[in-house]
């Protein structure tokens, strides 16, 4: 396959398929929540869509990062993408900061986004509370950079969880506003939701999303943890005193574990309830821990191999950024022309 053939040299294929864009921050080792809520679903989309999957390192620095750790985590995230089943020959896999057009478009869209819109973003409020010593402008305008990520590639569909729905809505509003002022420029993207695994919550506080930045390591399962560590964490997950495996309001811990079990086994909640009818939480947690550990096992093994191959990972980064840059410059050039920036050929 020639360089960029997956997108640039196959216009018939690109036109026939809708385009998808998504990404995850390399702010720490990726978790079970990242896998079930995002990456596992990305893998299934590759055959039916033209996919661009990004390691969004620009987003990561809204929170202070140790530079050496950020570089390492970026490489690890890329290795995990591939270990999970993302095929660089089939999808465009790249690092966000390697395509300067993301930051360039973000400034133009900042000038077309209202202060009031950003002030209503719930994630800004949440992160401001968590990082009260570093409430920076980037944290506030983070959704504009996300809109730039999406609009830069004329994206049709954005795989999101419920917590990101607000950002896609803002992206649509900004795109429609820009198109209304300057003429047809951006495709208006649609959110793409999956039925299960949309949002995997913390094991210690199942009312909150599982996060790799949580200071309590018992709250999440890292994808590359050992089998024993995975089972141990699932067994210690917070549940309730009812001792009944049933998906219901107020049973956040059990609902969360049922979502995890469903994502790995493909079983419906009704089927899970019947399977564990009359059984206690101990049996259920062990079953969840084992299917989780077994499901992540092949990923852990492939990741261990890939992360040692720096030359291969850098080659993937280079080819991916070349493909992404080609597409991004087409949109950015159009935007610059629309807003009136002077260009010299």
* Residues annotated catalytic, as ranges: 127, 209, 212
- The angle at the Cα of 19, spanning 334 to 84, to the nearest 5 degrees, equals 130
Q: What is the distance between the alpha carbons of residues 126 and 205, in angstroms, rounded to a whole number? A: 16
Whole-number Å distance between alpha carbons of 26 and 57 = 6
* SS3 track for 42-104: HHHHCCCCEEEEEECHHHHCCCCCCHHHHHHHHHHHHHHHHHHCCCCCCCEEEEHHHCCHHHH
d(CA 80, CA 224): 9
**Angle at Cα 315 formed by Cα 16 and Cα 303, nearest 5°?**
90
Using CB atoms within 10 Å of the CB of residue 259, give its burial: 0 to 12 exposed, 13 to 18 middle, 19+ buried: buried
Helix (H, G, I), strand (E, B) or coil at 24: strand
Q: Cα 245 to the chain's mean position, in Å?
A: 29
Count of C-beta atoms within a 10 Å radius of residue 187:
17
Q: How many residues does the chain have?
A: 345
For the sheet containing 157-159, what is the strand order? 92-95, 50-55, 19-24, 157-159, 190-192
């Amino acid at each position: 396959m020639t360089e960029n053939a997956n997108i640039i040299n196959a216009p018939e294929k690109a036109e026939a398929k809708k385009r998808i864009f998504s990404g995850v921050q390399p702010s720490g080792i990726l978790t079970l929540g990242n896998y079930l809520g995002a990456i596992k679903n990305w893998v299934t989309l590759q055959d039916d869509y033209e996919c661009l999957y990004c390691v969004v390192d620009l987003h990561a620095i809204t929170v202070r990062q140790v530079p050496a750790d950020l570089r390492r985590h970026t490489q690890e995230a890329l290795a995990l993408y591939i270990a999970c089943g993302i095929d660089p020959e089939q999808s465009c896999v790249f690092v966000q900061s390697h395509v300067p057009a993301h930051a360039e478009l973000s400034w133009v869209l900042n000038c077309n986004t209202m202060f009031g819109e950003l002030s209503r973003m719930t994630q800004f409020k949440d992160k401001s509370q968590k990082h009260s010593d570093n409430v920076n402008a980037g944290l506030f305008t983070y959704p504009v950079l996300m809109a730039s990520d999406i609009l830069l590639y004329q994206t049709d569909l954005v795989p999101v969880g419920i917590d990101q729905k607000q950002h896609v809505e803002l992206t649509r509003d900004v795109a429609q506003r820009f198109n209304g002022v300057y003429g047809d420029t951006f495709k208006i993207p649609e959110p793409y939701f999956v039925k299960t695994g949309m949002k995997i919550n913390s094991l210690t506080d199942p009312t909150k999303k599982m996060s790799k930045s949580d200071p309590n390591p018992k709250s999440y399962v890292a994808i590359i943890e050992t089998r024993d560590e995975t089972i141990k964490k699932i067994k210690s997950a917070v549940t309730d005193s009812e001792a009944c495996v049933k998906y219901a309001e107020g049973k956040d811990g059990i609902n969360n574990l049922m979502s995890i079990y469903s994502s790995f086994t493909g079983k419906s909640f009704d089927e899970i309830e019947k399977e564990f009818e009359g059984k206690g939480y101990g049996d259920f947690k062990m079953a969840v821990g084992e299917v989780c550990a077994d499901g992540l096992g092949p990923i852990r093994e492939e990741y261990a191999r890939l992360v040692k191959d720096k030359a291969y990972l850098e080659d993937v980064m280079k080819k991916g950024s070349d493909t992404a840059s080609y597409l991004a410059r087409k949109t950015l050039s159009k935007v610059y022309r629309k807003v009136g920036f002077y260009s010299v050929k």
